Amino acid sequence: RKQLTLDNESIARLKMEDTHENLVYKAKLSEQAERFDEMVEHMKAVVEGAFAEGNELSVEERNLLSVAYKNVIGSRRASWRVLSSIESKGEPDKLPIITQYKKEVEDELIDICNTILLIIKDKLIPRSTSEEGKVFYYKMKGDYHRYLAEFQQADDRKASSTEALQAYNSAQDIAASELPPTHPIRLGLALNFSVFYYEIMSSPDRACHLAKQAFDDAIAELDTLSEESYKDSTLIMQLLRDNLTLWTSDQDENPTGGGDDPQVEDL
């Protein structure tokens, strides 16, 4: 049989395809093409490469990683909500099919969450040298434990809720002392942490207090807002206000919180 060989040009091309810069570029292409599963794979390779060289991700790279995972998890979360709704109203004889299909989506959710949580714990938090980066990753850790808690039951839900709470608290402790109230990462943390209290912990009062405090603190220091983060910060402030409006109007109808409709999160 004829043995297949690669010439030097082909080998060089293959090596070039795996450079850090090219992986980041491929991730950006994947985002523009809305091929988020591939974007995740490219960014996982970026993380592995950076970790192997003793580096941390740049701000751009960590944002790309976040966008990639936010989209792959977001589509499954949306699917799960649709299937749960169908399951609650479905025909009894079709229930086993619906339940099994929902379980398949849950397995995908578990796999995605566990993968990124392991990356955050083992590679991202340990290598993070900036306080901003630490807040970003602890918030992310809280988010993915929250996504697990959304569909888990009993002890599993309790464990994920506890992990999420600890991660959000770690992020908040650093953010409160190291980041200004108008910083988009601090505001995004307040937004998602308040959603956690409302949806997972069924604590609407705590959720409203946290969201209002973050909004008021940012308003008080609006003149310190940097030009580059103005758009992001004001957008998240609007989302905080939207949730507060929604939650306060829901209080009479659903005093325990945790409504069926998903709350607004950061982008």
Chain segment 155-213, per-residue pLDDT in tens: 999 999 999 999 999 999 999 999 999 999 999 999 999 999 999 999 999 999 999 99
pLDDT at 95: 93
Closest CA to 132 of 166, 193, 177, 164: 177
Q: Which two tokens stand for residue 187?
A: 């505001």
Q: Where does the pLDDT of residue 141 fall: very low under 50, low under 70, confident under 90, or very high at 90 and above?
A: very high
Q: What number is the average pLDDT over the span 90-115?
A: 94
pLDDT at 124: 97
pLDDT at 226: 77
CA 156 distance to own-chain centroid: 19
Average pLDDT score over the chain: 90
Give the span between the Cα atoms of 106 and 99, in whole angstroms. Answer: 10
Q: Given a cut of 90, is residue 227 above it in pLDDT?
A: no
- The full set of domains in the chain, from first to last, is 10-129 (1.20.190.20)
Q: What number is the average pLDDT over the span 79-104?
A: 93
Closest CA to 265 of 203, 200, 194: 194
Q: What residues have CB less than 8 Å from 140, skipping those under 6 apart?
A: 66, 116, 120
Q: What number is the average pLDDT over the span 81-102?
A: 92
Q: Given a cut of 80, is residue 33 above it in pLDDT?
A: yes
pLDDT at 252: 62
Q: Given a cut of 70, is residue 123 above it in pLDDT?
A: yes
Query: pLDDT digit string (tens) for 53-67?
Result: 999 999 999 999 999
Choose between 86 and 267: higher pLDDT. 86
Q: Given a cut of 70, is residue 80 above it in pLDDT?
A: yes
R_g of the chain, CA atoms, integer Å = 21
> pTM score, two decimals?
0.89
Number of H helices, E strands in the chain: 11, 0
Q: Which two tokens stand for residue 108?
A: 């995908």
pLDDT at 153: 94
Eight-state DSSP code of residue 101? H
Q: Given a cut of 80, is residue 10 above it in pLDDT?
A: no
Q: Given a cut of 60, is residue 11 above it in pLDDT?
A: no
